Amino acid sequence: MKFAKIPMATINRLSIYMRTLQELLEEDVEVISSERLAKQCGVNPAQIRKDLAYFGEFGVRGVGYHVADLVNQIKDILGLSRTWNLAMVGLGNIGSSLIRHGNFVKHGYIFTAAFDVDPQKVGKKLPNGLIVNHVDELEDVVRERDVHIGVIATPAGAAQSVANQLILAGINGILNFAPVQIQVPDCCHVENVDFTIKLDCIAYHLSTGV
């Protein structure tokens, strides 16, 4: 199986399938048809079957998918059968809100380090128990706490420098909330989250009626 050939859109949909299946588990649903799962995920049944077919054979013809089994199988595919340690860099409004968000822990993402440059924030204890470190300590702390993914929520002007520090510390995965495209080597995967781009898409559809 050549994972590099799998479209990112498929990976994104797998996350949606998994979250929907987890909700079904909480409702004590044991088996679900591809038609019902597709309806709840906002796609068609053929798309679900195609997405899953990249990774093997799933479900039972004429029966559907065993919910618990499919959750575990998708977790294995996405690398979520383990926890991932995160470091937050930048504790402004976005960074502070994200690090308090309980949904990260629910899905296996644990903030184990937090950094800022503001003297009024460095040394403070966060609600989750973390002590904010100065960004100058980033490389040492990231290594000590076995951080796997860096989350950047700094102003645009600081984002590239922070990304460079994270990479030097051995981080190869970055979630970037700064409103700027950062440059990284091929070994590092970056996901950029710019809310204004999403708003641009909404504005386009509202303006054109498409």
Known binding-site residue numbers = 90-95
Conformational region of residue 157, where left means phi above 0, alpha means psi within -120 to 50, and beta covers everything else: alpha
User: Within a 13 Å sphere around the CA of 63, how many CA atoms are in the beta-carbon half?
Assistant: 8
In Å, how far are 3, 49, 59, 107, 135 from 52, measured between CA atoms?
A: 13, 5, 10, 21, 41
Strand-by-strand arrangement of the 149-152 sheet: 133-134, 109-116, 84-89, 149-152, 173-176, 189-192
Token digits of residue 21: 């299946």
Q: Which residues are annotated as a binding site for NAD(+)?
A: 90-95
Tell which residue, 104, 97, 55, has the closest CA to residue 78.
Answer: 55
**Position 207, amino acid:** S
Using CA atoms, how far residue 116 sits from 113, 122, 147, in Å, is 11, 6, 16
